[in-house]
Structure 1
Amino acid sequence: MRYAGLLGLAVVGALALSSCAANESAPAAADSTASAGPTLSGTLNGAGSSAQGAAQEAWIAAFQTANPDVTINYDPTGSGAGRETFIGGGSDWAGSDSSLNDDELAGEFAGCKPGSSAIDLPTYISPIAVIFNIDGVKDLNLDAATIAGIFKGTITTWNDPAIAALNEGATLPSTAITAVHRSDDSGTTKNFTDYLNKVAPEVWDAKAADAFPYQTGEGAQGTSGVVDAVTNGTGTIGYADASKAGDLGVAKVKVGDEFVKYTAEAAAAVVNDSPLVEGRDANDIAVSLDRLTTDPTHYPLVLVSYSIVCQEYADADQAALVKAYVGYITSEEGQQEAAKSAGAAPLSSELASKVADALATVK
């Protein structure tokens, strides 16, 4: 990884001590990267993406172990709430499963230096799993149009002909479908609805949005709320960051002529082959995901979760902490920690290099 100065903090030492508790004060090893730079101290507050939750727990534990004078708080309130908190100056960075929109970029950011804007830095790549809980059904194939019909409320039972046609030979019950969506503003919802609108626009006529667009199904708060509702219901289906799927059934999604099970590698492949959003600042690395791929080695129902930071902070000390922490979590070591603890797909070396270069300009 190419990031200098403070960005070199907490990498080797963090991972070497990652099995220690986050509140232990054992110093980093003498030859560790963490001990090579200036001592860090202070408190860093972040909020946002619940999809990043498991990875953030692991990252924070490792970073605080290597830097015992630093306290990091992360509140997984959801992407929309996280962006609002950051914009209002209530946090030092935001985790978000969708990049800042044009209206947000045109506004003011209370924690940034007056006249400075914010940038999106890819941090966490993960498939979105279509999770289900149907008595007697372990395997389920779905295409985008059928998923759209289920969540829009036009397909209402599990033995509907549209579902049966995709699952030849399967015994599907006549159980009513309960489709569970996020009740809060969510970047996971925005990615899920973007996929449906791009791939099945004849059914899903609503544009991508953080808020679920239809008055159908059952709403639940956060990733954990959706998972709990699907787990505790009957004939339920939902969508969630794949790291939280647990023992629930997970549908295979049709890509081209094949039904594809999500993998971290297939999610990373889509991101690697997708262009950046046009018209952004050179340091704003927002990805325009290729949902229409027909390559079965790709899994297009994927989210890229960002760390949203100031291009220039009003408080230089907070800028130093943000650069050190985000530099660690987007480093090769930090990405491997997320892969181990949350099943995330690591950033490619090319994308990680872009993130490091952009982060180096933050001040």
Structure 2
Amino acid sequence: MNIKRHGAALGLAAASALLLSACGSDNNAPAQSGSGAASGVNVDCGGKKQLTGEGSSAQTNAIQEFVAAYAAKCQGFDVAYNPTGSGNGIKQFTSKQVDFGGTDSPLKDDEVAKAAERCQSNPAWHLPLVFGPVAVAYNLPGVDGLVLNPETTAKIFNGQVKKWNDPAIKALNGSANLPDKDIVVFFRSDESGTTDNFQKYLQASAKSAWTQGGGKQFKGGVGEGKAKSQGVSDGVKATEGAITYVESSFAKSAKLGVAKIDSGAGPVELTDATAGKAIASAKIKGQGNDMVIDLDALYASKEAGAYPLVLVTYELVCSKGYDADTTKAVKAFLGTAAGPGQDNLTKVGYVPLPKEFRTKLQDAVKAIA
């Protein structure tokens, strides 16, 4: 995953600088330590003065928003987050080097055991605090509101559909003036959680058309690879007839066309509301407060008005096993992140969590002991 990665990279030192600016905000006057009274969410501030986290860079800008909200809630408390990637986040969390980890994929079986050991024989929980929509972005002058379905999307990205006026695309777009022009596919050349999730989406929603498999390396076998989200969005912007998969913030900043997705109940435009509807109906396959999302069900959903192609990033936390000071601070920070921390995520390329989903997360945070 690489949601608006060009915006910032928040290391341990940068986090402290962020907090200084957040605490000085005239628009978000901090509450006194211990009260957490601002913004309508009951946060019990206290405990460890500085938490540490590491992991997914996809959520960097969201973490910045969470930290700023936490600074406004709990004066004098801060968080240092190092965006070194999901793998490192898991390793640092399980080895007890940080208080929480960030990852765009749930723990594997062997990692579950290591996490439980780190949490003093208690399970670790996945808390899905960050969602970002992925756009199927294109550059086709004169064609607005392009509609694609999962099967046609899969066939474009594995080379079965090669022309913009292919009958499969024409059937979805009525009287649109589709040119007799080659489709130029751009894909991520680096290992990418965005690629992983996009291919999971194709596997779940277009099983008969996408047989190439999944993973963080693109398996489609066609197109031109570019590094990072900025690379693929720049490639499409510079190439008429091009298409890619990329986080929505990059598509918007490059002013690319964004395809509507028809999963079987009509075309759905990518908006906060349509992505939020998909999140609100997402099924949780984890047990109890371990909120692992069933991505197969989410990606294969045919719910009307829901845009299913979204990425999820989890915070890994101990359900029990922290010392008392860390427990209190973790609950205060994550409670803020699941509350007012969500309010400004749209401006940095993420989807604020729907109210019902926030409530589930806040209940899970409260259950940390």
Q: TM-score, normalised by structure 2?
A: 0.77
Change (3 A) 1:86 1:151: farther
Aligned to 1:86: 93
Deviation at 1:120, TM superposition (A): 0.8
Residue type of the alignment partner of 2:211:
D
Aligned to 2:56: 48
Contact 1:113 1:312 (8 Å CA) reproduced: yes
Contact 1:181 1:219 (8 Å CA) reproduced: yes
Contact 2:19 2:67 (8 Å CA) reproduced: no
Residue type of the alignment partner of 1:327:
G
Aligned to 2:80: 73
Q: Helix, strand or coil for the counterpart of 2:299? A: coil
Aligned to 2:269: 261
Residue type of the alignment partner of 1:99:
P
Deviation at 1:284, TM superposition (A): 0.5
Q: How does 1:55-134 map to 2 (within 5 A)?
A: 55-67=62-74, 69-105=76-112, 107-109=113-115, 112-134=118-140
1:194 to 170, 178, 200: 200
Aligned to 1:3: none
Change (3 A) 1:334 1:314: closer
Please state if 1:177 is matched with 2:184.
Answer: yes
The alignment yields a C-alpha RMSD, in angstroms, of: 3.4
Change (3 A) 1:136 1:25: closer
Deviates further, 217-226 or 247-256: 217-226
Q: How does 1:326-345 map to 2 (within 5 A)?
A: 326-331=334-339, 333-339=340-346, 341-345=348-352
Matches of 1:129 and 1:99, distance apart in 2: 23
Q: TM-score, normalised by structure 1?
A: 0.78
Change (3 A) 1:230 1:68: farther
Change (3 A) 1:212 1:109: farther
Deviation at 1:68, TM superposition (A): 5.3
Deviation at 1:196, TM superposition (A): 1.1
Deviation at 1:359, TM superposition (A): 1.9
Aligned to 1:307: 315
Please give the per-residue CA displacement for 1:303-351, whole angstroms capped at 9, x wherever unaligned. 33322222234555444333222111112x22223245435132332x3
Q: How does 1:230-309 map to 2 (within 5 A)?
A: 230-246=236-252, 247-277=255-285, 280-288=286-294, 289-309=297-317
Residue type of the alignment partner of 2:218:
F
Matches of 1:85 and 1:37, distance apart in 2: 25
Residue type of the alignment partner of 1:267:
A
Q: Helix, strand or coil for the counterpart of 1:63? A: helix
Matches of 2:97 and 2:237, distance apart in 1: 34
Please give the per-residue CA displacement for 1:20-43, whole angstroms capped at 9, x wherever unaligned. 933649872457526974375224
Aligned to 1:362: 368
Matches of 2:348 and 2:176, distance apart in 1: 37
Deviation at 1:362, TM superposition (A): 2.6
Matches of 1:315 and 1:355, distance apart in 2: 22
Residue type of the alignment partner of 2:333:
Y
Deviation at 1:66, TM superposition (A): 4.5
Change (3 A) 1:140 1:319: same
Q: Helix, strand or coil for the counterpart of 1:203? A: coil
Name structure 1 gaps, 5 residues minimum.
1-17
Name structure 2 gaps, 5 residues minimum.
1-17
Matches of 1:208 and 1:312, distance apart in 2: 34
